[in-house]
A and B are shown apart, each in its own frame.
Chain A
Amino acid sequence: MTGAGLKIWTLHLALIAVLFSAQYWLSPYHATNLARIMVLAVFAMGYNLAFGYTGLLSLGHALLLAAGMYAAGLPAQLWGWSAGPAMIAGIAGGGLIAAVLGLLALRTAGVSFMIVTLMFAQAGYLTLLYFAPVTGGDDGFAVAATSRTLLGFDLSTDAPRFLAALTIFAVGLGVSLALVRSPFGRTMVAIRENEERSRMLGYNPFTVKLAALTISGLYAGAAGAAYAILFGYVGASFATIQYSILPMLYVLMGGAGTTLGPFLGALVMFVLIEAATGITTAHQFIVGAALVALILFAPKGILGTVRERWLRWLP
Chain B
Amino acid sequence: MTAAVLALAASGLSLVFGVMRVVNVAHGAFYMLGAVLAWAVASFVPGPPALAFIAALILAPLLVGALAAATDGLVLKRLNYDPEATIVATIGLLYMIEQAILSLYGPNANPVQAPFEWRIQLPWFGYSGYKLFVILAACAVLLALWTFLTRTKAGLVMRATQVDSTTARAFGINTDRVYMGTFALGAGLAALAGVLIVPIQQAHYLMGGDPLLLSFIVVIIGGLGSLRGTLIAALVIGLSDGVISMFFTPTLAKILATLLVAMVLVFRPQGLFGARA
Contacts and interface: CB of A to CB of B under 8 A. Distances in A.
B79 A296 contact: yes
B103 A282 contact: yes
Contact of B89 (A57, A104, A116, A291): A291
A115 B23 contact: yes
B252 A130 contact: yes
B87 to A, nearest CB: 6
A115 B79 contact: no
Given A114-B84, A252-B88, A285 B99 contact: yes
Nearest to B255: A126
Contact of B84 (A105, A107, A111, A127): A111
B266 A288 contact: no
A110 interface: yes
The secondary-structure label for the interface of chain B is helix
Contacts of B213: 122
Nearest to B87: A114
A123 B258 contact: yes
Interface string A280-305: 10111101111110011001000000
A119 interface: yes
Given A130-B251, A130-B252, A296-B89, A110 B269 contact: no
A107 B23 CA distance: 19
The secondary-structure label for the interface of chain A is helix
Contacts of A287: 92, 95
A110 B96 contact: no
A122 B269 CA distance: 19
Interface in B78-125: 78-79, 83-85, 87-89, 91-96, 98-100, 102-103
Given A252-B88, A292-B75, A296-B79, 9 more contacts: A59-B87, A105-B266, A115-B216, A116-B266, A130-B255, A285-B96, A285-B100, A288-B94, A296-B89
List 7 A-B pairs, minimum CB-CB distance, nearest first.
A288-B95, A291-B92, A288-B96, A292-B92, A285-B99, A119-B262, A284-B99
14 contacts: A104-B263, A111-B83, A111-B87, A114-B23, A115-B265, A123-B255, A126-B254, A248-B88, A282-B99, A284-B99, A288-B99, A290-B92, A292-B89, A299-B85
